Amino acid sequence: MDTFIEDLLIQQLQIVSFHCLKYEDNKWHTCSKIGEKSCDEINGELCDNLTEIRFDAFSNKIRVRNILEIDSGDISSLINKRLISNVLTLKIWDQTISIDQLKLIGSFVKICEFFDVSVKSNKQNDASLAEIIQCFPMLEDFTLSGSSISVNISSKTVKELLKIPHFSKIKYFFLQNISDKFDIEEFYNSFLKKNKTMDVKLSFDSNISETFKQKLSTIVNEILESETTDFWPPMFYGKFGEIKNKLSDARVRYCQIKQ
Ligand SMILES: [Zn+2]
């Protein structure tokens, strides 16, 4: 073990601070910034040159200040019992995680990226998107992507999201593989049409119905025909032809005017 960590443990600190922490290949890795003062540079980026650290070699609580990355594997023992999270950036790949674990991690998270992540509200049920967003009161940048998103999207998703006070503070919001249960008309009329500050990118599942494609097309046409710059046009991705390029132009126009 690093002699610096040994020093901290000898001092019998109850909590040892880490800057970056990454779980990969069933092992924890950390950067060289260990101890409260060396962790002050919070930039949300993973440092280079991570080395393995064995948390079973000592029993202190572990505070993570900068970034936590989890790439599959079982993280329960550390997260549930020992982690104190001041994490700015949270990235998770290929993992099933519970809402309770996200609450433990999420208080300071501003950047959250999930790739093929399944979030459970209890043993049986998938958490709703709103339940996930509620774990991150400081959230600014949210990406939910993967080959198949197991997060619950229902006809209630939009209403639930819009009820969350901090939802409108998000600056970047990207969802992938959205099903046609998503109430796109409600999202457009109640939120997108007034939105000036959130970069919204929605990528729709390839199996969405013709009716849903028609709804998307109506929204896109309304945005384009109005030529408005009163709100930030969203980006829609999916298999529906020309929509993407047309929205791109409208988005560029909005961003130029707002600069
Ligand atoms: Zn670091």
The average confidence (pLDDT) of the chain is: 90
Beta strands in 197-253 (DSSP E): 199-204, 235-237
What's the pLDDT band for 10 if we cut at 50, 70, 90? low
How much distance in Å is there from the Cα of 199 to the middle of ligand 1? 28
What's the pLDDT band for 242 if we cut at 50, 70, 90? low
Q: For residue 123, is it within any domain?
A: yes
How much distance in Å is there from the Cα of 65 to the middle of ligand 1? 9
pLDDT score of 189 more than 60 = yes
pLDDT score of 246 more than 90 = no
| SS3 sequence of 95-140 | EEEEHHHHHHHHCCCCEEEEEEEEEECCCCCECEHHHHHHCCCCCC
Model pLDDT for residues 140-184, shown as the tens digit of each residue: 999 999 876 656 788 999 999 999 999 999 999 999 999 999 999
* Structural domain boundaries enclosing 214: 68-258
Model pLDDT for residues 118-133, shown as the tens digit of each residue: 999 987 889 999 999 9
pTM summary value: 0.93
> Closest Cα to residue 39, out of 6, 73, 5?
5
Q: For residue 234, is it within any domain?
A: yes
Q: For residue 204, is it within any domain?
A: yes
pLDDT score of 241 more than 80 = no
How much distance in Å is there from the Cα of 135 to the middle of ligand 1? 24
How much distance in Å is there from the Cα of 36 to the middle of ligand 1? 12
For the chain, give me the number of helices (H) and strands (E)?
Answer: 8, 11
Model pLDDT for residues 48-83, shown as the tens digit of each residue: 999 999 988 888 899 999 999 999 888 888 888 899
Q: For residue 235, is it within any domain?
A: yes
**Max intra-chain CA distance, the chain:** 68
pLDDT score of 1 more than 60 = no
What's the pLDDT band for 3 if we cut at 50, 70, 90? low
Q: Other CB atoms closer than 10 Å to residue 132's CB: what's the count?
A: 24
- Within 13 Å, how many C-alpha atoms sit on residue 237's CB side? 11
Q: For residue 161, is it within any domain?
A: yes
pLDDT score of 6 more than 70 = no
Pairwise CA distance, residues 86 & 224, whole Å: 43
What pLDDT score was predicted for residue 122?
Answer: 83
Q: For residue 3, is it within any domain?
A: no
How much distance in Å is there from the Cα of 11 to the middle of ligand 1? 22
How much distance in Å is there from the Cα of 120 to the middle of ligand 1? 29
pLDDT score of 2 more than 90 = no
How much distance in Å is there from the Cα of 5 to the middle of ligand 1? 15
Residues with Cβ within 5 Å of ion ligand 1? Answer: 19-20, 31, 33, 47
How much distance in Å is there from the Cα of 89 to the middle of ligand 1? 11
How much distance in Å is there from the Cα of 138 to the middle of ligand 1? 21
pLDDT score of 29 more than 90 = yes
Model pLDDT for residues 191-228, shown as the tens digit of each residue: 999 999 999 999 999 889 999 999 999 999 999 998 88
What's the pLDDT band for 244 if we cut at 50, 70, 90? low
Pairwise CA distance, residues 208 & 19, whole Å: 42
Q: For residue 49, is it within any domain?
A: no
CATH number at residue 98: 3.80.10
> At a CB cut-off of 8 Å and minimum separation 6, what does 71 contact?
22, 23, 24, 25, 92, 93, 94, 95
**Residue 54, both tokens:** 């064995």
Domain count for the chain: 1
Residue 30: alpha-carbon gap to chain centroid: 21
What's the pLDDT band for 13 if we cut at 50, 70, 90? confident
Q: For residue 177, is it within any domain?
A: yes
How much distance in Å is there from the Cα of 198 to the middle of ligand 1? 29
How much distance in Å is there from the Cα of 45 to the middle of ligand 1? 7
